[in-house]
Structure 1
Amino acid sequence: MNLKQNSLRRQPQQKRSQERVERILDAAAIVFDEVGFEAATTHAIAARADTAVGSLYQFFPDKLAIFNALELRHVDRVYVIWDKLLRPEVIQLPFADFIHTIRTQFQKLFEQPTSRIIFVQFFTSPTIFKNIDHSFTQEAIQFMTKLLQTRNPALTNKRSQLLSEICVHGINTLILLALRSDKAHCQEIFIEIEILLKAYLKDDIGDEITNNNSIQPWEKLAQLYQLNSRQSLILKYAAARPEITIQNCEAMFLDVSRRTLQRDIKVMLEQKLLLPQGNTDRRCYRFNRELPNL
């Protein structure tokens, strides 16, 4: 999603103009948050941005165009959080810290007027949206599925998909309740969200399941052979199951090409960490449990 292509009437060429656009968006988020989209006016937004309304119209034809630009800002911020949560240093946290990190990342996101107003409006006035629809919810479910399977590769696709659907739809409902509440009650609800997630996900990605607190054979090998984070997670998956396929790897790493994943597997085949099975058409791999380092 590109702000330049979707929302602006005129592209800001100079740094000062770019800063003015950002000020307008910041001001609009605050005004929308305070009085709602319907009651907001371009004059109120311009006044909050400390700029002339004529300057606002140079970049945005109306308040709807400003709102649509805020949609893109929200999406970009969500993507940044998703990227952070998928990093190995987060995935490998103890379970309680892992869930706490998820909660705090999204609570901080919704402390910002932009994301707060976009989220609430999506569930109350979806027809004004141009850049976000229900496919973004499905994208969130796909992200959650990837997050859960990365933490516990032994989870089946069916189980992780179900967990993700319950988490995303359930938490969205609670976040909407929180954002419609006063500040103190909002904080209470986010804390309860963390408690709920810990209780719901413990049996599938808790420390007892993922063994984050002890060194597993695959971890020793990953350290010994200096595997990268992606290769380490593939090896972890293979160690937890009878076999692994390239399709399993693609499900774990949706944004990584098959060729890159094949190179990762080739590295581990050469080091005899994985052993090939089957013919070329139905090739799969298994974890080598007979290595002397185990």
Structure 2
Amino acid sequence: MSKSSSLSSDKTLRRQPQQQRGKQRVEKILIAAAEVFAEAGFAAATIQQIADRANTAVGSIYQFFPDKLAIFNALFVEHLRLTECIEADFFAQKIDRPLDRGISEYIDAYAIYFEEPIPRCVVVQYYLQPIGGMETMMTDLPNLQSISYKRHANFYRQRNPNLSEAKSELLSEVAHNIVQGLVPNTLRRDEKYRQAIYAEIKDVLYGYLNPHIGDHLLPVSNQLMMCPDCQSDRIAKNGRQQGKQRYICRGCGRQFLDRYTQRGYPLEVRQRCLDLHAQGIGFREIERQTGVDCNTVINWVKSLELKSVEIEA
């Protein structure tokens, strides 16, 4: 994502570190800056404080960054790169995993990520304490957000092919804003509060998205197969039987088919056979007319007669 952003490194770094030692120094400076910005705020933070935290000289920082704004924008670039990794990992997962599990894993990934100093600093500073001058260096950010919305919208349409493009993009934008609206303030509170908010976000997203992309709307070929005994989703294909896919549960060992044909004759066929018998037609003739084995018809008649006797008694 950062490759297409206006926040490219040539606008934040005075010079690119060529050696591994230089790259490690820049990384150390960025982490130190994130911690200082988070503690003191961007306006109050100084280059000297960042240098002290990074255990380096002020001149070493100026070798790479012209000012604090350049440092913060470098942090933003790194934030975009890391969030792209989270997004890529999410979309690499199976499309048919249960919606509640997918939402939970998605939010948990970000919850862990935001415990790190760089994303915590960037999100809190950008959303709650805007920095003057940033807007001129982030002209491409709306386009990046639009790309993210469309990616999630496409994911929604894969889960529900009947979902329109316009509706899926609206769902995606609202879901994003739910997260972006709650997370920044959450990061300034204690861990217990953060975990409570993350749990609420999961519930809100599931309630909002389930009617549109819930498991019941998955295409038949993508619906998650569950074991009928232990309800495990650890299912593997196990050959075919009479044209139907057979599965085996890796949890309990139960073997089953993807679908079952209803056994027995429809009620209307049974009633027709009984009506023909009541008209005095023989069992063999009923078999020829209906295709139902005469022995089956005999059993139906006996069963009916037995019920009649029980009722009279």
TM range (shorter): 0.5 to 0.7
1:103-122 Cα shifts (integer Å, max 9, x gaps): 11221222222112212222
| Within-5 A mapping of 1:226-237 | none
Tell me the residue number matched to 2:311. Answer: none
Tell me the residue number matched to 1:113. Answer: 117
1:140 aligns with 2:164: no
1:20 aligns with 2:25: yes
Measure how far apart 1:136 and its partner are.
Answer: 3.5
1:96 aligns with 2:94: no
1:265-286 Cα shifts (integer Å, max 9, x gaps): xxxxxxxxxxxxxxxxxxxxxx
| Within-5 A mapping of 1:194-213 | 194-210=202-218, 212-213=223-224
Q: Tell me how large the CA RMSD over aligned residues is.
A: 2.4
Q: Work out the CA distance in 2 between the residues paired with 1:135 and 1:36.
A: 28
Unpaired runs of at least 5, structure 1: 216-222, 225-294
* Structure 2 counterpart of 1:204, one-letter code: H
Secondary structure at the counterpart of residue 155 of structure 1 = coil
Query: For residues 147 and 34 of structure 1, do their structure 2 counterparts lie closer, same or farther at Cα, with a shift above 3 Å needed?
Result: farther
Tell me the residue number matched to 1:178. Answer: 186
1:132-180 Cα shifts (integer Å, max 9, x gaps): 6433333332232122223333321122112112111122111123123
* Structure 2 counterpart of 1:112, one-letter code: E
Measure how far apart 1:127 and its partner are.
Answer: 3.6
* Structure 1 counterpart of 2:110, one-letter code: F
Measure how far apart 1:7 and its partner are.
Answer: 1.1
Task: Tell whether the 8 Å contact from 1:140 to 1:168 is kept in structure 2 after alignment.
Answer: no
Task: Tell whether the 8 Å contact from 2:96 to 2:215 is kept in structure 1 after alignment.
Answer: no
| Within-5 A mapping of 1:1-294 | 1=2, 3-89=8-94, 91-123=95-127, 124-125=129-130, 127-129=132-134, 130-131=137-138, 133-210=141-218, 212-214=223-225
Task: Tell whether the 8 Å contact from 2:90 to 2:106 is kept in structure 1 after alignment.
Answer: yes
Task: Tell whether the 8 Å contact from 1:99 to 1:197 is kept in structure 2 after alignment.
Answer: yes
Structure whose CA Rg is larger: 2
Task: Tell whether the 8 Å contact from 1:82 to 1:143 is kept in structure 2 after alignment.
Answer: no
Q: Work out the CA distance in 1 between the residues paired with 2:123 and 2:58.
A: 27
* Range with bigger deviation, 136-145 or 18-27: 136-145
TM-score normalized with structure 2 length: 0.64
Identity %: 38
Measure how far apart 1:126 and its partner are.
Answer: 5.2
Query: For residues 151 and 109 of structure 1, do their structure 2 counterparts lie closer, same or farther at Cα, with a shift above 3 Å needed?
Result: farther
* Structure 2 counterpart of 1:119, one-letter code: V
* Structure 1 counterpart of 2:179, one-letter code: I
Secondary structure at the counterpart of residue 163 of structure 2 = coil
Q: Work out the CA distance in 2 between the residues paired with 1:193 and 1:128.
A: 32
What is the number of residues matched between the two proteins? 218
Q: Work out the CA distance in 2 between the residues paired with 1:98 and 1:122.
A: 27
Q: Work out the CA distance in 1 between the residues paired with 2:214 and 2:123.
A: 29
1:34-90 Cα shifts (integer Å, max 9, x gaps): 11111111111111111111111111111111101011001101111111111143x
TM-score normalized with structure 1 length: 0.68
